[in-house]
Amino acid sequence: MGSILEKINAPDDVQAIAAERLPELAQELREVILGTVSSTGGHLASNLGTIELTIALLRVFCPRRDKIIWDVGHQAYSWKLLTGRRDRFHTLRQRGGISGFPKPDESPFDVFVAGHAGTALSAAIGMAVARDRMGTEGQVVAVIGDGSMTNGITLEALNSLADVNSKLIVVLNDNEMSISENVGALSRRLGRMLADVRYNRIKAAAEAAGHRLHMTFLRRFYHRVEQAVKSLWLQNAFFEEFGLRYMGPIDGHDFDALENAFCSARDYKNPVLIHVATQKGRGFRPAERNPDQWHGVGAFDLDAKCPPESRHGYSKALGEALTALGDKDSKVVAITAAMCGGTGLDPFAVKYAERFFDVGICESHAVVFAAGLAAAGFRPVFAVYSTFLQRAVDSVMHDVCLQNLPVTLCVDRAGVVGSDGPTHHGIYDIPMLRCLPNLVMMQPKDALELVSMLKTALRHDGPTAIRYPRDPGPEVNFSMEAEPLNVGEAEILMVPDCGGGAGPVWFWALGDMLPLAFAAAERLKSAGVRVGIINARFIKPLDAEKLRAQARETALIVTLENGAVAGGFGSAVREALAEINSPCAVMSCGWPDAFIGQGTTSQLLEDAGLTPAEIAGEILARLGTS
């Protein structure tokens, strides 16, 4: 009979598919997603779990009229395939290709950007209120999953839902996972709902009859009976008290059960929450067994069924060093926001379970929790991706820096740009944090210096932030002892040659930009320019003494940072020189004041002019020697 997926060119086509062929469509979607992600990399396990859910949504709702908001957006690959992007799906996460997340300027069926968790319910309430105020038609559906129900923004939205009194539908995709395993009281409550044997036995029998009820009034009667049965066994008042009628748990891989629940919710006049149980990694056994390893992956060999091997990067170095420091100091505590494995904290969590805390997708809570620990005499270390720390900047200011508390922020994936696109680029942490009083901010040139900075942070009497990229830095000898650093002291790595020639030019570079500084320096030296290189190490406080001394004798200072130039490290250098009215010119190299698209890191660096040839060429032009 041929491929079903090839006949779907718009979301309306899904409704025309015979019900008995839906499992076949689901299998085709799984094969396309597996084949594409094995080539491009991406979020795998979560997308394999939402395929039946997506098909059912498109059979009951019409995205030309209804608004479907995904949270989090990395579970929407099958949505993209079924809403007109099948022919472009092979370009997933590539430069110029389709995004790995919902993107309104990519498709009219993506109604809201959803790169970070916890935003869908707030956005859905806003859209529902707008619909009601304008008197238009259409359903508003928020699809929440991967632990985002426990996010603080979601709970704030729940709190306002009853007062708003607008009709909307919340689909809670409960796969028992965020990236790491879900934690917390709400997760345990949902687990009890899913696991109650007596309730589910009776509910299964009722559903068998309910699936055969196609008339609207009979379906409504069935769901009233179901509600009464639930009240006998489940304490589901949590959602009811927020003004949401609770329906479920529903088998998220049963088409009949999903469509029946969605139809009932569509016809109900008040807000509804449908609790859907799905299996992360569904249909791909390696991902079913280890969904956290297959959450976000690079390209891999599909036949081998193994995720790409992770290299010994900065995250792993942090985890090993923190565990060793935990051996010596019982006051060292580690915190993660649902990213234990990604931030390298696994060894600490295993060895010191009583001093390890996963707070879920709740970054602001993690920071204030750390502040409370620090105020009580502990030395908390919060390891978090740069892109997710953005959500907690107010807490860093008000609860950590204002009180000058010894909290250490380990800012992972700092400076990282790539295929996930602008929602996940880690290039804004310097401008966001540099302005905060009392904060010491550092970036290492290699993993050994990261250990030195961690030791520096844990002995510093105040807040610190250490930013570092994902990929391994230069090879280092870990048999060497990493010593704490003097706060605010930069490191001279190369001094200008003596004698004639243009210059000197001094590079002030942060961490992973030092190789770029050395490569540009070689080009300049070949052109007769004298060059020196500084490993800045400290973004704040700057080594103002070295900087100002060099400014008196140099033609140009060039800053290199893997971050946004607006308000970044280069701005700090300009400010320090402006304080002494230095006439020295400063050339700042980093990411421009714009959102950066998706692509490989090397492609994006080239697009931004962050290459040895581009930088050396601009320097020569400024010196008048090109």
Catalytic residues: 280, 363, 391
Q: Phi, psi at residue 100, to the nearest 5°?
A: -80, 0
Q: Phi, psi at residue 287, to the nearest 5°?
A: -75, -30
How far apart CA 328 and CA 76 sit, in angstroms, is 45
Determine contact, residues 122/156, Cβ cutoff 8 Å: yes
How far apart CA 272 and CA 169 sit, in angstroms, is 5
| 8-state DSSP, 388 | H
Element (H, E) at 530: strand 529-535
H helical segments located in 443-494: 447-459
How far apart CA 320 and CA 353 sit, in angstroms, is 15
For residue 172, give every residue at least 6 positions away whose Cβ sits within 8 Å of its Cβ, in sequence order, or none. Answer: 144, 145, 149, 190, 248, 273, 274, 275, 276
How far apart CA 314 and CA 320 sit, in angstroms, is 10
Q: Is the dihedral of CA 548, 550, 553, 556 positive or negative?
A: negative
How far apart CA 151 and CA 607 sit, in angstroms, is 35
Rg of the chain (C-alpha set): 27
The two tokens of residue 568 are 């970044």
Q: Which residue has the tokens 């002494």?
A: 580
How far apart CA 417 and CA 372 sit, in angstroms, is 33
Determine contact, residues 556/622, Cβ cutoff 8 Å: yes
Q: Which of 487, 597, 581, 602 is nearest to 91 (CA)?
A: 597
Decide: residue 453, CB within 10 A, 0-12 exposed, 13-18 middle, 19+ buried: buried
SS3 per residue for 556-579? EEEEEEEEECCCCHHHHHHHHHHC
H helical segments located in 90-243: 120-134, 152-164, 185-195, 197-210, 216-233, 237-240
How far apart CA 295 and CA 178 sit, in angstroms, is 9
Determine contact, residues 157/242, Cβ cutoff 8 Å: no
For residue 10, give every residue at least 6 positions away whose Cβ sits within 8 Å of its Cβ, in sequence order, or none. Answer: 83, 84
Within its chain, how far is the Cα of 578 from the centroid?
37
The count of C-alpha atoms lying within 13 angstroms of the C-alpha of 352, restricted to the half-sphere facing its C-beta, is: 21
Q: Pairing relation of β-strands 585-591 and 556-564?
A: parallel
